[in-house]
Structure 1
């Protein structure tokens, strides 16, 4: 097994418009992702990004680092919300360290927003794309 190597941090900006588009694509129209009053009424600090959208950004970083690779597994826990302001957006950073063994690359991910981890134990396992 090779030692973990750092990967270039990927930064993604999430806006309210992104949340609307994600809701349409996913069918997840929970109002905590679009309505300040509803989010506050359930104890959230504001409108939050969909957890699966945040996880998808982690998957996007993996694709950037390993283009064309087969994703064998991708998983995480949703630990902290990503609060998305009404104006502008919020940045999510995805960092990773990769190690190889038995033809697979394991990527230990760190996904943060405003310096706080937003996904717990995020990890991807990929198999390099076959040449040809």
Structure 2
């Protein structure tokens, strides 16, 4: 990894079944994540993905880019919901990344996370532990 290096965009399908599984794992059964009626009643355009699920996709992208290097920090702001239609295709979340800095055995990655061309996370950033002379082995 070298500063300025662009990382291959990672694409993730997010379907309603994924939201159900995430709800079970996280204990977050808020109906805005599974009921169109409730989601639209509260002013949303439809069922939305859990923000933490969307953030977890950035973690999955980092793991792919770094060969499962230790993630020391992972953070973002939730800026726009990922609307998940009730079909077999779902929504597509794209995570693009750039190596911002490599120093002291750590690499800082900045990311752009989009759905339908719109940014859904603000200032997503990860810090990963790198081995040797800035290489991660992946």
- TM-score over 0.5 for the pair: yes
**Any gaps of 5 or more consecutive residues in structure 2?**
none
Tell me the TM-score normalised to structure 2 length: 0.90
**Contact kept? 1:70, 1:129, Cα under 8 Å:** no
TM superposition score normalised by structure 1: 0.94
CA RMSD of aligned residues (A): 1.3
Q: Offset at 1:3?
A: 2.8
Q: Secondary structure at the match of 1:46?
A: coil
CA distance in 1, matches of 2:68, 2:79: 29
**Cross-structure match for 2:94:** 93
User: Equivalents in 2 of 1:7, 1:85: separation in Å?
Assistant: 28
State the partner residue of 1:112. Answer: 114
User: Number of matched residues?
Assistant: 130
Q: Deviations over 1:49-83 (max 9, x none)?
A: 00000000000000000113111100000000000
Superposed CA deviations along residues 69-111 of structure 1, whole A, max 9, x for unmatched, are 1111000000000000001211000000013122210000100
